[in-house]
Structure 1
């Protein structure tokens, strides 16, 4: 499923191509690209749930929270998000790429992925997908793109 999400993001969203809204046409294209039908439906459902997260009471509550709290991860969350991933999420909060609400959206979407081999590179793509889909987060999306795609030249110190 994650491969399909990456395919869609790279071919439609990230490339700024016109995004198709007809599920049948999109499903046919993904099938021709070699993806299995059940995985296609899971990926499309994942994207729909991402879009719907902004309309939940939990999202509205999180956008109004004070900015001073610490996130404690559940055992299920630590199964998917190792120490490196959790540290990266904290870093993104500290540099204001993520706020409470978008962080929770990222965690929610990670837990819905049907994969056993989730790593920090996958997390970066999930963060990009979430930020792209949240209105008003264009600057954060741009910062995240810079973090992923800009390669540092010379020594880091």
Structure 2
């Protein structure tokens, strides 16, 4: 007789995605640590830059500059601060083998991919509305490159998180 099979609903982090074994001849831990440190360096440069531009554009706004520039600078400042925080947590989590500290960067990388998708859709509508096919093709090419790169980074970060979680949870069970 056939046994009824039980269907199980998967949680979002249980979906089977591409899980790399290594990245650029490095272990996943080294590669993800390199990505996090790169984001720390970029964020450390970007935060003062966007803060400066936000202050300058707010001062210039008194003299009639566009408010759009000031809002853009403030948003980019907040995004850079978020990158600094999650990258710091990630570096600390990898060094101390605490998998819970890795999750914010994995989530933030997924949010980053969603932001890129939203920007692509926005720019696509603008370029198609203006009948600018060249701009659309450049945006499409850029979008494909960015999403491919972001997906690879997301996969490395996620796989490292899952491996560290598995190692940590199996070590705590055996203790």
TM-score, length-scaled by structure 2: 0.23
TM-score, length-scaled by structure 1: 0.24
Q: Whose helix fraction is larger, Structure 1's or Structure 2's?
A: 2
